[in-house]
Structure 1
Amino acid sequence: MPDTYDLIILGSGPGGYVAAIRASQLGLKVAIVERERLGGICLNWGCIPTKALLRTSEIYHYMTHADAYGLKADNVGFDLGKIVDRSRKVAGQLNAGVKGLMKKNKVAVHEGVGAITAPGKLSVKQGDKTIELEARNIIVATGARARDLPFAKADGERIWTYRHAMVPKEMPTKLLVIGSGAIGVEFASFYNDMGADVTIVEMLDRILPVEDAEVSEFMHKALTKQGIKIVTRAMIEKIETGAAAAKASIKAPDGKVDTQDYSHVIVAIGIVPNTENIGLEALGVKTDRGHIVTDGYGATNVPGIWAIGDVTGAPWLAHKASHEGIIAVEKIAGGSPHQMDKANIPGCTYSRPQVASVGMTEAKAKEAGYELKVGKFPFIGNGKAIALGEAEGFVKTVFDAKTGELLGAHMVGAEVTELIQGYVVARQLETTEAELMETVFAHPTLSEMMHESVLAAYGKAIHI
């Protein structure tokens, strides 16, 4: 007889395991199916271990620039093996934490390759045996994987995906990063700070293309100043790998092709949703370019089949997946949750400097027909930023001139990934410029720049 549950979740990433916990809290009998490691890509191979690496490069940067703080640090070096080991231990600790949470919340964990065989039925292949599970509702949370270049697939030696880049066998000497989204820029930042000669190639006209144009321009200048070479509006024509190098041909906007040897290449050109071979086609689940189509609650066109996270499309962010999971589960349990509002999902890039944003860019707001008030405040005008030695960057806010609605907020500089949540809360509460102006911000803090940016939009900034 099949094991029977109220809910089965296929995938245990930040969408799946969070959904499982919330379902258990609501009294549902829950099972989760995972083919690799609990916590999914984010916890084991993405968000968390990359931040461990970036923390290492940040400290290394400070050590090599100790003199700027009146300190001495001679013969500074690093042990690549220990750097990778620390990152893997951080991931391992959190993986163990998720296991503990599953046990605490009485979530049954089935390790193996899962596939939906019929409405309400799911099989799990575990080596030579297969077990059968049943539930009235199934949530697909299978995530996504790195997209390969069709003519140069990742081999783990010379051509890397993000997974290879997190566990390097050797430190790149000359690194080519293809793609300048968050993943590409973060790895470029890490390896550049650790001493590699880094080049970023982007096919669009600017790096971090989903960010506000002023943020992209600032990051281009900042990364170039750090020594990173950036080529935009360029295409990779071919990559030939050898025992000691990868020969890449880069076609510039003017048609000229530059061919150079690189010790390693990181491909960061997007993701592919994991929707194959899990039974969706036979059930008639609707997809769009591989991504599962859902409503605002995670429901698909097939009753009883739900989907959350990267497998449902942009933005491909862990916190979006987690929130979608909670919404779907509360709907399944008979509640009345709010629908997912993607406009209030913050985006963060943990490079040096950091980038964070929420809502519309200035250009998008103009395209939407808004009359705008835009404020911008520089880090150099903030006492805490100067004291930290982090005086490069700015905070930008975009308001509807007629209503005072905060349409978007965009930041670049030290610790902005921590600051952005203030504006996310403001948007969620439908705060206007008036409440933000009347809010008291602690001094001295970086957050004061958030206040000043709002004031600047209305011609009231104090420190510029």
Structure 2
Amino acid sequence: MAYDVIVIGSGPGGYVAAIRASQLGFKTAIVERESLGGICLNWGCIPTKALLKTAQVFEYTQHSKDYGITVSDAQVDFEAVIKRSRGVADKMSRGVQFLMKKNKIDVLMGNGKVKSKGQVEVTDKDGKAAVHEAKHIILATGARARELPNLKIDGKNVIGYREAMVLPKQPKSMIVVGSGAIGVEFAYFYATLGTKVTIVEFLPRIVPVEDEDISKELEKIYKKKGIEIMTNASVEAVEAAGNGVKAKVKTQTGEITLEADVVLSAVGIAANIENIGLEGMGIKTDKGRVLVDKYYQTNVPGVYAIGDMVPGQALAHVASKEAIVCVEAIAYNEKKYAHKPATIDYMNIPGCTYCAPEIASVGYTEKAAKEAGYEVKVGKFPFSASGKASAAGATEGFVKVIFDAKYGEWLGTHMIGANVTEIIAETVVARKLETTYQEVLDSIHPHPTMSESVKDAIEVAYGEAIHL
């Protein structure tokens, strides 16, 4: 078959690229080797949120007396928990199937590979290969769990995020290696359901990409939940021991041995750039990522790459926006779109972690702002002073805002608390509009809400605090 656009990979980058291409009048096909929706819908963003919601509901039952309700003998049916999560994922994948039909996009199941200029070879599960032509080829093959040389994922003693979502039974104890979003989310899920969890982090603090105050707060809350945290530590080796494992952990004071039922490796991701034709086409890569221009074209004309496989934040919403920018740029060049799309500002990408309490952030951390030469004004408002948070029984955490003292530019926001992932968009939009602190303070925030804590934090930064 001959197409205008073929997209390889159907995650939140790939399927969005295919839909936008079809909307703009391109004859489009999408190649997928496993399930429509990719890792995000099937093994990442969506099913993990289902698991985390179950943990939150169970946590409510443990503290129901705080709300004047008595719940007796609440039990975890682990098999049912996993089944619900898989059901949510399956429903979302079917939704993508519907979107493909609605937008008249051909779905080619199999492994996709750029065979030559303008050609994609798709090999199905039976090994049968077919070659399809396309003027534009968009690579969106995503990423997988990264493996450390001394921490190979075997699916039994050492598991990755995929296995962690479908374990046949709940482990009594677990060592989580790495404290990024995946690590702390699974740590919360399993610890809340009763697993003894130990987090081992190589760097000096957990959630190391976040503002230091966020790291300190989450560590304090997690320790209160009974999660053991070891920073400046690394797992050097894991060996089977009876029905569990022994992990040798190197710390600043020496080597110790930890025992657990299983080790979860959550040390980041590696882009899927192998066996998709990059070498044969001479497509340039660096540090395991495909190099692209600001409109996501590789060094080979007609071949593009988006999402986790290119430099930048490996986030679903980033991949989706890259998809739209990429396709609209192609359409502009083909005279199918009226203007060149705006490029992405990677300094204004929100990051969200869905543990409890949630974490959300965008822009500069306080340390990064100072290192960039800004004189800053910092405001911090605790949820313990929020009426809505008190009513909800969710007083942990805070909102922290950072402004440029000279011009009032909003440099960054960092939050930890209940549902803060729903609040961070205010900062993203305001920063896009180059809003100063004054416009935000002049905008009336609804009361009582958690979101008004952003305004309260800005008041603190400028010495105008009312509720603190």
Superposed pair shares fold, TM > 0.5: yes
Q: Could you tell me which residue of structure 2 aligns to residue 233 of structure 1?
A: 232
The 4+ residue runs of structure 1 with deviation greater than 4 A are: none
Measured in 2, the distance between the counterparts of 1:13 and 1:292 equals 17
**Residue 54 of structure 1 is aligned with which of 52, 55, 65?**
52
User: Does 1:375 pair with 2:379?
Assistant: yes
1:118-137 CA distance string (max 9 Å, x none) = 11111000123111111111
SS in 2 for 1:333: helix
Letter of the aligned partner of 1:338 in structure 2? A
| C-alpha displacement of 1:339 | 0.9
Letter of the aligned partner of 1:284 in structure 2? G
Measured in 1, the distance between the counterparts of 2:322 and 2:309 equals 12
1:374-424 CA distance string (max 9 Å, x none) = 111010111000011111110011111111111100000111011111111
1:303-357 CA distance string (max 9 Å, x none) = 1111000011331100000000000000011140011111111000000111000
User: Does 1:460 pair with 2:464?
Assistant: yes
Q: Could you tell me which residue of structure 2 aligns to residue 212 of structure 1?
A: 211
**Residue 69 of structure 1 is aligned with which of 56, 67, 70?**
67
Q: Could you tell me which residue of structure 2 aligns to residue 403 of structure 1?
A: 407
Listed as ranges, the matches of 1:4-83 within 5 Å are 4-83=2-81
SS in 1 for 2:144: strand
Measured in 1, the distance between the counterparts of 2:242 and 2:112 equals 38
Measured in 2, the distance between the counterparts of 1:430 and 1:284 equals 40
Q: Could you tell me which residue of structure 2 aligns to residue 332 of structure 1?
A: 330
Q: Could you tell me which residue of structure 1 aligns to residue 243 of structure 2?
A: 244
Q: Could you tell me which residue of structure 2 aligns to residue 417 of structure 1?
A: 421
Moved more, 174-183 or 279-288: 279-288
| C-alpha displacement of 1:359 | 0.6
Measured in 2, the distance between the counterparts of 1:460 and 1:241 equals 59
Listed as ranges, the matches of 1:172-321 within 5 Å are 172-254=171-253, 256-321=254-319
Moved more, 291-300 or 40-49: 291-300
1:178-206 CA distance string (max 9 Å, x none) = 00000000000000000011000000000
Q: Could you tell me which residue of structure 2 aligns to residue 448 of structure 1?
A: 452
1:67-114 CA distance string (max 9 Å, x none) = 111110101101111100000000000000000000000111100011
Measured in 2, the distance between the counterparts of 1:340 and 1:136 equals 25
Moved more, 88-97 or 307-316: 307-316
**Residue 432 of structure 2 is aligned with which of 425, 428, 434?**
428
Asked if 1 retains the 8 angstrom alpha-carbon contact of 2:151 and 2:265, the reply is no
Asked if 2 retains the 8 angstrom alpha-carbon contact of 1:175 and 1:199, the reply is yes
1:142-200 CA distance string (max 9 Å, x none) = 00000123123212222110000000111111110000000000000000000011000
Measured in 1, the distance between the counterparts of 2:248 and 2:163 equals 22
Letter of the aligned partner of 1:170 in structure 2? K
Measured in 2, the distance between the counterparts of 1:205 and 1:117 equals 45
Measured in 2, the distance between the counterparts of 1:81 and 1:290 equals 37
Measured in 2, the distance between the counterparts of 1:387 and 1:30 equals 51
Letter of the aligned partner of 1:462 in structure 2? I
SS in 2 for 1:426: helix
Letter of the aligned partner of 2:193 in structure 1? M
Please, which runs of 5 or more residues in structure 2 have no aligned partner? 333-338
User: Does 1:93 pair with 2:97?
Assistant: no
Measured in 2, the distance between the counterparts of 1:344 and 1:167 equals 34
SS in 1 for 2:424: helix
What TM-score does the superposition give when structure 1 sets the normalisation length? 0.98
Measured in 2, the distance between the counterparts of 1:448 and 1:71 equals 29
User: Does 1:114 pair with 2:122?
Assistant: no
Q: Could you tell me which residue of structure 1 aligns to residue 336 of structure 2?
A: none
Q: Could you tell me which residue of structure 1 aligns to residue 398 of structure 2?
A: 394
Letter of the aligned partner of 2:7 in structure 1? I
Measured in 2, the distance between the counterparts of 1:318 and 1:206 equals 25
Measured in 2, the distance between the counterparts of 1:43 and 1:463 equals 41
Letter of the aligned partner of 1:212 in structure 2? D
Measured in 2, the distance between the counterparts of 1:292 and 1:245 equals 39
Letter of the aligned partner of 2:360 in structure 1? A
Q: Could you tell me which residue of structure 2 aligns to residue 145 of structure 1?
A: 144
Measured in 1, the distance between the counterparts of 2:94 and 2:311 equals 28
Letter of the aligned partner of 1:135 in structure 2? A
Q: Could you tell me which residue of structure 2 aligns to residue 364 of structure 1?
A: 368
Letter of the aligned partner of 2:382 in structure 1? P
Measured in 2, the distance between the counterparts of 1:447 and 1:260 equals 42
Measured in 2, the distance between the counterparts of 1:214 and 1:68 equals 28
Measured in 2, the distance between the counterparts of 1:327 and 1:242 equals 51
Asked if 2 retains the 8 angstrom alpha-carbon contact of 1:300 and 1:307, the reply is yes
Letter of the aligned partner of 1:368 in structure 2? A
Measured in 2, the distance between the counterparts of 1:453 and 1:27 equals 47
Letter of the aligned partner of 2:272 in structure 1? N
**Residue 344 of structure 1 is aligned with which of 335, 345, 348?**
348
Q: Could you tell me which residue of structure 1 aligns to residue 335 of structure 2?
A: none
Measured in 2, the distance between the counterparts of 1:327 and 1:273 equals 21
| C-alpha displacement of 1:243 | 4.8
Asked if 1 retains the 8 angstrom alpha-carbon contact of 2:376 and 2:402, the reply is yes
Identical amino acids, percent of aligned pairs: 53
Please, which runs of 5 or more residues in structure 1 have no aligned partner? none
Asked if 1 retains the 8 angstrom alpha-carbon contact of 2:31 and 2:112, the reply is yes
| C-alpha displacement of 1:461 | 1.3
SS in 1 for 2:29: strand
Measured in 1, the distance between the counterparts of 2:241 and 2:103 equals 50
